[in-house]
Amino acid sequence: PVAVGCVAGDAESYILFCDFFDRVIEAYHEQKITSQTPESDLNYDNLKGGDDLDRSYAVRCEVSVVRGIEDFCFPTHCSRGERRRLLTLARQALQQLEQELAGRLLLLTDSSQEQQSELNLKAPTSFQLRIGVARDWPDARAVWVSENRSLLVWVNIDEHLRLVSMREDANVAEAFQCICISLQKLEKYYRGLRHPFIWKQQLGWVTSSPANVGTGLRISVLIKLQHLPTHKHLKDVLKRLRINMDKTDSPELYNISNMATFGFTEVALTQLVVDGVKLLTIMEKRLEGNLSIDELVPAQK
């Protein structure tokens, strides 16, 4: 797997050390940084399909987005005091969200092991320990959970904020819509609290990892595949579709996600994953019938 191998301590680092970070960003996202402002599109109505994935293959999906909060160092470098102030801000913003979407904030220090595993929260990884985001764990870490579980908001876990929408019905359109709506609301509330989300000219939204600049958006779908993972054209197909395919704990389940977060709008990134999953499913079906997929290999996106 491709990893960036570095993180920023604060947003200013991207400007101060741009000679370094710009190269990392361009290499990871396979996209040139230009003087143009990155385009954004959170209008979920522009997404074509996504509620129509073949359920015999697609079993689960997850859309998540990360944001940094202006005036604070990233979790890789922030002090304990900053982290606690970020939690206070999150509490204020999320209280406003609760007026429209019922939910509650759960502090990691107050939550049981069962609650944490139910929310898919794991102990810090060795990578997280190395890059500093796990300092003082679990102090000032929290998860906000909507009552019907459609939305999770991680506070100070790996970034200042991470919104997650998971669905067992693999309905990417619904998950994407949930993220777009909640993200825009939180953006408004944070701006009202005079700590907007961190946005940089030319780069778009930035957080500690160069792997997430631009949109901060990850769309992933778990699909059942048997034949395609060993096919000789697989690497080429994934590269051209601009998607990743990662192994999971179960042998026949693969995690398909967007390769880059920079250089495409939010809708375009989601479209890449939706269209990619559909094509991979068609290929898998052809391989099941012993048919060739040579003529289905797409052009570079």
Ligand X SMILES: *[C@@H]1O[C@H](CO)[C@@H](O)[C@H](O)[C@H]1NC(C)=O
Pick left, alpha or beta for residue 276 (phi over 0 → left; psi -120 to 50 → alpha; otherwise beta). alpha
- Measured from the CB atom, the residue of 33 and 186 that comes closer to ligand X is 186
SS3 10: coil
207 binds ligand X (CB under 6 A): no
Q: How far is the CB of 101 from ligand X (least distance, A)?
A: 5
161 bridge partner residues: 67, 155
The answer to whether the CB of 195 falls within 8 A of the CB of 259 is no
82 binds ligand X (CB under 6 A): no
- Measured from the CB atom, the residue of 209 and 257 that comes closer to ligand X is 257
Please report, to the nearest 10 degrees, the dihedral formed by the alpha carbons of residues 189, 191, 196, 202 taken in order: 110
Instruction: Assign 3-state DSSP to the chain and report helix, strand, coil percentages, each to 5.
Output: 40, 20, 45
Stretch that binds ligand X, among 4-12, 111-119, 216-224, 231-239 (CB under 6 A): 216-224
Pairwise CA distance, residues 245 & 247, whole Å? 7
Per-residue x/- marks for ligand X, 145-184, CB under 6 A?
Answer: ---x-x----------------------------------
Pairwise CA distance, residues 278 & 284, whole Å? 10
Pair of tokens at residue 165: 């929408």
Per-residue x/- marks for ligand X, 91-130, CB under 6 A?
Answer: ----------x-----------------------------
Residues in the interface with ligand X (CB under 6 A) total 13
45 bridge partner residues: none
**170, 172, 217, 222: residue in contact with ligand X (rule CB under 6 A):** 222
- Measured from the CB atom, the residue of 32 and 104 that comes closer to ligand X is 104
300 binds ligand X (CB under 6 A): no
The answer to whether the CB of 103 falls within 8 A of the CB of 97 is yes
284 binds ligand X (CB under 6 A): no
Pair of tokens at residue 268: 């375009």
- Measured from the CB atom, the residue of 136 and 246 that comes closer to ligand X is 246
Residues near ligand X (CB under 6 A) are: 60, 62, 101, 148, 150, 218, 220, 222, 246, 255, 257, 289-290
